[in-house]
Amino acid sequence: MFNRTEQDERGFLTAVILKLQDTLDRLNGNIQGVSSDVKAFKAYLWEHQSDMDHVEKVSVRESITQAALTGESAVERRKRILKLMDTPWFGRIDFKEKKAQKERPIYVGIHNYTDDVSRQIIIYDWRAPVSSMFYDYELGQAQYEVMGETIEGLIELKRQFRIRQGRMEYMLESSLNIHDEVLQKELSHTSDEKMKNIVATIQRDQNAIIRNDDALVLIIQGVAGSGKTSIALHRIAFLLYKHKGEISSNDIMIISPNKVFADYISNVLPELGEEKIREIGFEALMDQQLNGKVKFQSFFEQVSEVIEDKHPDVSERIAFKATFDFVNQMRRYLTHIENNYFEANDVGVAHRYFVPRAFVGKRFQGYHRLPLARRFERVAEDIVAEMRFRHQADLKAADVNRVKADVRKMFRHTTIQQLYSDFYGWMGKPEMFKKRTRNVLEYADVAPMVYLKMLFEGAQINTEVKHLLVDEMQDYTPIQYAVLAKLFPCKKTILGDASQSVNPYSSSNSADIERVFPGAVSMQLNTSYRSTFEITDFAQNISRNVDLVAIERHGQKVEVEAYKNTAAETEGILNEITDFRTSGDNTLGIICKSQKQADALYALLRPDNRDVYVLTSESVAFLNGIVITTAYLAKGLEFDRVMVVHVTDKNYHNEVDRSMLYVACTRAMHQLKVSYVKKPSPLLDFAIEK
Ligand SMILES: Nc1ncnc2c1ncn2[C@@H]1O[C@H](COP(=O)(O)OP(=O)(O)OP(=O)(O)O)[C@@H](O)[C@H]1O
């Protein structure tokens, strides 16, 4: 057997690192050479420009471009080699194909590496077809697919390694529980400023999602901490590998809930050797669609309002616009507009050329496949053609414009805003549309208005984006999905958790989303990896998800602390901060219900604690240390330790609060404390002895 013992493996590691070093030296030489070539070409061009003819110049310029490209690809390869020198591989399987005489060892790492001399593959990229067996099988029968063919065989050996800076920290031989052991070690680490890659411990159900290349729309419903975001990013890395040359990271876009989250996840793809992908928030997207001309409330402001629970009519309006039926209503409204709001009239120019209303009406009907707004132009063109053809009319540009204006006037409403407000009158529910002062739209009206605009004028389809990722899918409504479907006709990965909605009046689950994307494939992730068993169990008591499986990683019991007054609770928070500073943990999240509370706590603590900071809707980065935040902004993030503060009966009592509390508690990886002053929230009843 190849490299039977741990000592053999260590020897092999050293040998491969030397090979990698050779490759690196060679690449450095090449890069240096290319850079000198480019300089020399440029100098030559500069000096001889006046004596050179056009053909010669083109030829030298081409040489420069070619050399630069060679240089770029060498620099790219150098980056990969450097990564491999740190961690060449993390797994090995020995696979004996059915037909083969002998097993072959397959070392799985972050990139492929082929021996420069023998041309033999030494390391297989984790995304290579053969590597999928490392994630899918233990010892025994196994198979993988390559180019539509199934290769069957036996896995005779399986090992996992932790190698850092070229040194092997440990090696584990496969037994049935091996995966768990390595996974446990990975999960018990302290958190990082940025999300990490998880290539070494991807689980089987996660692997199936990563490698699913067939679904046009893939919906991932996953419980809190099940790795949805990580898996979606690994899936992108997989697709970039599989479709190299057809799709690049520039073609991929993620709709992310906020800038902090975007920053938090921004390292995963570069860690996997891919470029960052483009990111945009839903609001910015809507603003583009409305050409920056319509003011609207942000999602953050909407959530804050719902949390404060001051205007019950607001939640009613939000809920009304969050159903699938609402999308259908709007489509019906468009048919109504089409049938009733266009009143064909006779058109005449210079009292001489007339086209009767019957002609106009017929042409209008004839273009029923076009969006309404585009029909006006076409009908006007037909009228002009009719006048020229039938009456040999000599029409000037001004006449043509008059005809266009006349046709436009046959349509009753002039602006999308008018049509949108009329929609509510048509439904017999004018109270469902209310503007804020200074003409600001409620957030719940933005996507419907954009959707109406798209139906009316036609959508500006984005053909540049070849794959769209939507994270926190539960926070988008059917009409928002209908907008996304029109804007991005590309493949999509949509992920989230119906239990983690920050606005239950407008949340969607995978079934709702499937209705917007018929034919979508839904996959589930039910194991929660982030938190200790104790934390997950606590959170389950707040909001139970029967599908959830908690990972067996144990930690401290969750503490629920009662305080007599606010000063005492603040004292408790300060003690926790002091303890955290010497604990070796990297992140402590202090989670409040509202931004107001978070700001107030920050104002109280910050003067004497310069290492405390607060997240706001304007924050753009996630930093290690002590962070005061809200459940809404902490969504998608994680902390080594979490304190959920002010969990009183006043603060947390309804279903919205339940969701918030659940999100807050599930941010904790290793330690969770919950505190309140005087009367606890009834949502904590299960944890408080009476
Ligand atoms: N297979 C795995 N191996 C190691 N760590 C994992 C694995 N799957 C998930 N994790 C870890 O679990 C944590 C949660 O992952 P992630 O944030 O992707 O989950 P999520 O489902 O998007 O969470 P949430 O919805 O609660 O925000 C991360 O620390 C991630 O590294």
* Residue nearest ligand 1's atom 10 by CA: 227
pLDDT digits (tens, 9 = 90+) for 265-282: 999 999 998 888 999 999
For position 33, what pLDDT does the model report? 77
Phi, psi of 585 (to 5 degrees): -75, 160
Partners of 559 in the beta sheet?
Answer: 673
* Pair 586, 640: CB distance under 8 Å: yes
pLDDT digits (tens, 9 = 90+) for 494-524: 999 988 887 777 778 888 888 889 899 999 9
* Residue nearest ligand 1's atom 30 by CA: 227
pLDDT at 321 over 90: yes
Q: What is the mean pLDDT of residues 591-616?
A: 94
Question: Which atom in ligand 1 lies closest to the alpha carbon of residue 669?
Answer: 29
pLDDT at 177 over 70: no
Q: What is the CA radius of gyration of the chain?
A: 31
Give the whole-angstrom CA distance, residue 446 versus residue 351.
Answer: 45
pLDDT at 623 over 90: no
* Pair 371, 452: CB distance under 8 Å: no
CA of 187 to the centre of ligand 1 (A): 9
For position 176, what pLDDT does the model report? 53
* Residue nearest ligand 1's atom 1 by CA: 202
Ligand 1 neighbour 179 (Cβ under 6 A): no
pLDDT at 202 over 80: yes
CA of 50 to the centre of ligand 1 (A): 62
pLDDT digits (tens, 9 = 90+) for 110-162: 999 999 888 999 999 999 999 999 999 989 999 999 988 999 999 999 999 99
How much is the mean pLDDT over the chain? Answer: 91
Q: What is the DSSP letter of 524?
A: E
pLDDT band for position 690 (cuts 50, 70, 90): low
* Pair 419, 413: CB distance under 8 Å: yes
Return the SS3 of 348: strand
CA of 685 to the centre of ligand 1 (A): 29
User: Mutation test of ligand 1: which of 230, 526, 547 has the most ligand atoms closer than 8 Å to its C-beta?
Assistant: 230
* Residue nearest ligand 1's atom 19 by CA: 227
Question: Which atom in ligand 1 lies closest to the alpha carbon of residue 203?
Answer: 1
* Residue nearest ligand 1's atom 12 by CA: 530
Percent of the chain whose pLDDT exceeds 70: 99
For position 52, what pLDDT does the model report? 76
Ligand 1 neighbour 206 (Cβ under 6 A): yes
pLDDT band for position 62 (cuts 50, 70, 90): confident
* Residue nearest ligand 1's atom 25 by CA: 224
For position 680, what pLDDT does the model report? 96
pTM of the model: 0.90
* Residue nearest ligand 1's atom 8 by CA: 227
Greater pLDDT, 150 or 389:
150
Percent of the chain whose pLDDT exceeds 90: 68
pLDDT band for position 310 (cuts 50, 70, 90): confident
User: Mutation test of ligand 1: which of 530, 532, 663, 665 has the most ligand atoms closer than 8 Å to its C-beta?
Assistant: 530
pLDDT at 87 over 60: yes
Phi/psi region, residue 281 (left: phi>0; alpha: psi -120 to 50; beta: rest), is: beta
CATH 3.40.50.300 residue ranges of the chain are 548-684
pLDDT digits (tens, 9 = 90+) for 431-461: 999 988 778 999 999 999 999 999 999 988 9
* Pair 163, 149: CB distance under 8 Å: no
Q: What is the mean pLDDT of residues 416-423?
A: 92
Q: What is the mean pLDDT of residues 427-432?
A: 94
pLDDT band for position 312 (cuts 50, 70, 90): confident
Q: What is the mean pLDDT of residues 624-628?
A: 95
Q: What is the mean pLDDT of residues 294-308?
A: 88
Ligand 1 neighbour 230 (Cβ under 6 A): yes
- The annotated binding site for ATP is made up of 222-229
DSSP for 366-415 reads HTTTS-HHHHHHHHHHHHHHHHHHHH-----HHHHHHHHHHHHHTBS--S
Give the whole-angstrom CA distance, residue 144 versus residue 148.
Answer: 10
CA of 434 to the centre of ligand 1 (A): 40
Give the whole-angstrom CA distance, residue 527 versus residue 198.
Answer: 15
CA of 230 to the centre of ligand 1 (A): 6
Spell out the CATH class of 548-684. alpha beta
* Residue nearest ligand 1's atom 7 by CA: 227
Ligand 1 neighbour 186 (Cβ under 6 A): yes
For position 175, what pLDDT does the model report? 63
- The annotated binding site is made up of 222-229
ipTM: 0.99
